[in-house]
Amino acid sequence: ALLRLLLPPPRAHHPTPPSAGDHGQGLVQFVLAAHEGQRNTRLFWAACRAYEEGIGPELVEPLVDAARATGLPEREARATVASAARMTGR
């Protein structure tokens, strides 16, 4: 008990959460890794995560670009991202 009084209190450990850019880049990479048959599903999942994390609006263009790079038509990609936004209530 005496030792606790003599020593400074331990510092609280506050881990640094990943920045939106880091998380957003991971979601974009997830979409880029999609193969035919999973492109729309991966895009929808990534867009839902983005909107749940509050970074959906800033990731719309990068996610659509990534989906287009995998061969998904732009119109379909935008519709999928918009559906994810509606689904998450954002």
Instruction: Provide the token pair at 44.
Output: 């929808």
The tens digit of pLDDT for each residue in 43-52 reads: 999 999 999 9
Q: What is the 3-state secondary structure (H, E, C) of 7-31?
A: CCCCCCCCCCCCCHHHHHHHHHHHH
> Looking at the domain assignment, is residue 68 inside a domain?
yes
> Looking at the domain assignment, is residue 48 inside a domain?
yes
> Looking at the domain assignment, is residue 6 inside a domain?
no
Average pLDDT across the chain, whole number: 86
The tens digit of pLDDT for each residue in 14-33 reads: 444 444 457 799 999 999 99
> Looking at the domain assignment, is residue 3 inside a domain?
no
Q: State percent of the chain over pLDDT 70.
A: 79
Indicate the number of domains in the chain: 1
Domain with 63 in it: 20-87
> Looking at the domain assignment, is residue 77 inside a domain?
yes
Taking every pair of C-alpha atoms in the chain, what is the biggest distance, in angstroms?
70
> Looking at the domain assignment, is residue 30 inside a domain?
yes
> Looking at the domain assignment, is residue 8 inside a domain?
no
How much is the pTM? 0.75
Continuous segment of H or E residues that includes residue 79: helix 74-87
End-to-end CA distance of the chain: 52
